[in-house]
Structure formats: C-alpha cells, structure tokens
Amino acid sequence: MSQILIGEILACLMFVGVIGVLLIGFPVAFSLAGTALIFGLVGWLLGVYDPSNYGSLIGRYIGLMTSETLVAVPLFVFMGVMLERSGIAERLLLTMGKLFGNLRGGLGISVIIVGAMLAASTGVVGATVVTMGLISLPAMLRAGYDPKLASGVICASGTLGQIIPPSTVLIFMGDMLSGINAQVQMEKGNFAPEPVSVGALFAGALVPGFLLVGLYLAWVIFKAVTDPKSAPATPVPAAEKKDLAREVMVALVPPLVLIIAVLGSILAGIATPTEAASVGSVGAMILAVANRKFGLAILRQAVISTATITSMVFIILFGAAVFSIVFRMMGGDNLVHEFLSNMPGGAVGATIIVMLIMFLLGFILDTFEIIFIVIPITAPVLLALGVDPIWLGVAVGVNLQTSFLTPPFGFALFYLRGVAPPRVTTGMIYRGVLPFVFLQMIGLALLFAFPGLITWLPRLIYN
C-alpha cells in the first residue's frame, strides 16, 4: 500500500474519529486537537506525517490573536449581551406587541420584527432564542396563540442572528475566506484578487436576511387569515393607546439608530467592523444607562459573559487549527479535492454535497465547530471550481441556520425547550418549527437559483 493512500485513509478515519469523540461528549476544542495529535502520532509512526508541521501553529496562533478583524468578535458579543441585560429586548417586544395588537397575528409579526432587530444588534443566536422565549412565549400563550405557531415563530426569529449582520459567524467566515480566496487565486495566476472582506459578507447577507424575514411574516399572516384561532388579535385598551406613539419612539428609535450607525458605517466604508463594533459597545452601554438598567453588577455580568463566549470560540478555533494541519499534511485535502471535483454537476453539485454535509453536522456540532473544521477543507476546492466566496459564506450561514431549526436535533429547539412552560411539549415545538424549516429551504433554493440575491449588494457598494 502506497504512503499517499495510507495518509488519505488516516485522514478519513481522523474525520470520522473526531465526530465519534464529540458524540461521546468530550469538549470540542480538546477533541479536535487531541484526535489530531493521536492520528498525527500514528501517521508519524507509519511514515506519512512529519511532526515538524506543528511548528506552523505558533505563527498561526499569533496571527489569530493579533488579527484586527477578529477583535470585532468580543466587541459585538459585548454589545449583544449588554442590550440583552439592559431590558431593551423586553421593552421592544412589549411595545411592538401593542403597536400590532389590533391585527390578527399581530403579536407574531411583532416577535419576528423584534427578532430581526435583536439579530442586527446581538449576532448571538442562543441568547436571542432564550430571551425571546422568556419574554414573548408566555405573552403569546396568554393571548390564545397556538403553542405550535408560537414556538415556531420564536425559534425561527431567534436564529436570524446567524445570518443578519453583525453575525459573529460571518466575521470568522470572512477572515477565513479572505485568506483561502487569496491562496486559490494566486495558484490560478491571479496575483491581485478582489479582497473578501467582512463588510462585503455583511452586505451580501442583508438581502437573504430580509428575504427570510419576509417569508416568516408571510407565513404568520397566512395562518392568521386561514386559521384565525391560531393567531388571534390582542386589542390594546384605549387607556394605553394614548401614549403608544411616545412608547414606540422611546423603545424603537434608540436601538434602530444604534443598528444603523454600526452597520451603516461598515457598509459605507466609514469604519472597519472592529471600529464599528467598539462604537456599538459604547452605544449599548449608553442605551442601558438611558433605560436605567446600567450598573456595576450588570457591567460585570456582561464582561464575564463576553469573556466566556469569546474564549470558547477561540479555543475551538485553536483546536481546529491543529486538526486542519494534520488533515491536510496527510493528504486529506487532495482526497477532498478529487471527491468534490468529480461530483456530477460540477461546482453546483460539489456545493450541494458540502451544504448537505454541513447541514447534517449541524445536528451534532455548533456553528463555529462546523465552519472551523469544514471551511478550511472544502472552501479551497469550491473556490477553485469558480464558486463566489461571498456567495459561499452567506449561503453556508443560511444553511446552518436551517440546520439549527430542524428537528429533532436543532439547537434552537433545545434552547426554547429549556425555557418553555410544561404545557408546551417538545412535540409541539417540533411540529411548530417544521413550516419554518420549509421556508428556510425555499430561501436557500432561491439563493442557489438567483446568486445575485447575495452578490448584488456587495458589488454595488464595493465596486
């Protein structure tokens, strides 16, 4: 048996092995690095892997820790946590519920709109689903909503943070795709490739994000028309209508201004994502002060939560770096290249296969774990086949969002199950989210059929 074949077999076994270790329940970062080290040792003993390759990890780690782009991650996380702890989300939901209360399905519409706004201000899926579940689910049940519809609306709108900027997933994706695309283009002889920036990914994600919001709203309106009992109106008492306009201004305008300032400055080229994130963090603290929910205790909680989330993500990234080096150096990248290049349908067929693999991995792995493992392995092949890097990054985000919603393993379902009252059964949550999974698949199919939905706005802005 040739050395090349032995290396490729070990690379395949390593990929399967790390999935098995994760299913047992070992911590992700240590599973990635530990499995890679074990197979690296086996490869060294069989003469198909050189341990000196680990030397490149030092430069890679230093590059990650000093990356100006990735500094935006803890800043955006802090911004989202601060907005969550300051009561902004609760005030938004209550006010929007009053605004649309006289309409059948109005409360569901309010939840989707607020979910989109929270996604544009937090970028953290788990926190959004839990917050929406704690605040809006009891209100929807008291109003007489079908528990299935209420559960589906909350899960779907809560996962919008996966795709609507400033998604932390898109920040990491932009950083990875930028380097991968530059390497692929240089191998093709293009020594001045168009850069792939986080700002371009943000711009590319806007239209798909609004498309999904529109599909969600259309479903709620359809249910309200065809099955009025499932989404009844919640009329606002006359006494509360007097100050409604002022309440809407106070609750809606400040976070909206913050969102426009942060995303607008990035898309307009006025600020980098890191600079905009720092402004957003300060703005979130100002909103907390204005809402009378700012203090040392709140600040301490926000800082600890930010440090915990950021540390978790970066240690997974470090573990994935070890995995990636061993996988590539044992010939795994050549195996992936041959497999995807020989797929029927060319670039489209290869992309569908990669999307399917990511979708299935979304049942057992977190988003960051998936992109840190799969993107470095598959993106070079897809980009070499001609897939647009901006399209790929955004489409992966929508695909993983769909996986987050899909029963029985979707993470969003578990987040909601943890805060839902006993009368809302797991079966109700599963059945309620299925229509939204179907809507997600329609959205993903539209992105395949009309790639311009993603690439049009980045080209318009950055050309």
Kindly report, residue by residue over 40-64, the tens digit of the pLDDT.
Answer: 999 898 888 888 888 888 888 888 8
CB 154 within 8 A of CB 129: yes
Q: Of the spans 17-26, 125-134, 274-283, which averages the highest pLDDT?
A: 274-283
Give pTM, 2 decimals.
Answer: 0.85
The conformational region for residue 232 under phi > 0 = left, psi -120 to 50 = alpha, else beta, is beta
Among residues 353, 376, 373, the alpha carbon closest in space to that of 364 is found at: 373
CB 347 within 8 A of CB 385: yes
Does the pLDDT of residue 436 top 90, yes or no?
yes
CB 208 within 8 A of CB 443: yes
Q: Reduce the DSSP state of residue 71 to 3 states and report it.
A: coil
Residues 6+ apart with CB under 8 A from 246: none
The pLDDT, as a whole number, for residue 297 is: 81
Mean pLDDT of 100-123: 80
Can you list the alpha helix ranges (DSSP code H) found in 188-243? Answer: 198-226, 238-241
Does the pLDDT of residue 114 top 90, yes or no?
no
Does the pLDDT of residue 305 top 80, yes or no?
yes
Helix (H) or strand (E) holding 29: helix 28-45
Cα separation, 90 vs 113, in Å, equals 13
CB 243 within 8 A of CB 44: no
Cα separation, 337 vs 118, in Å, equals 39
Q: Of the spans 134-143, 290-299, 425-434, which averages the highest pLDDT?
A: 425-434
Q: Of the spans 202-206, 303-307, 408-412, which averages the highest pLDDT?
A: 202-206
pLDDT tens for each residue of 117-138:
877 766 566 667 777 787 788 8
The burial class, CB within 10 Å (0-12 / 13-18 / 19+), for 345 is: exposed
The pLDDT, as a whole number, for residue 121 is: 67
Does the pLDDT of residue 438 top 90, yes or no?
yes
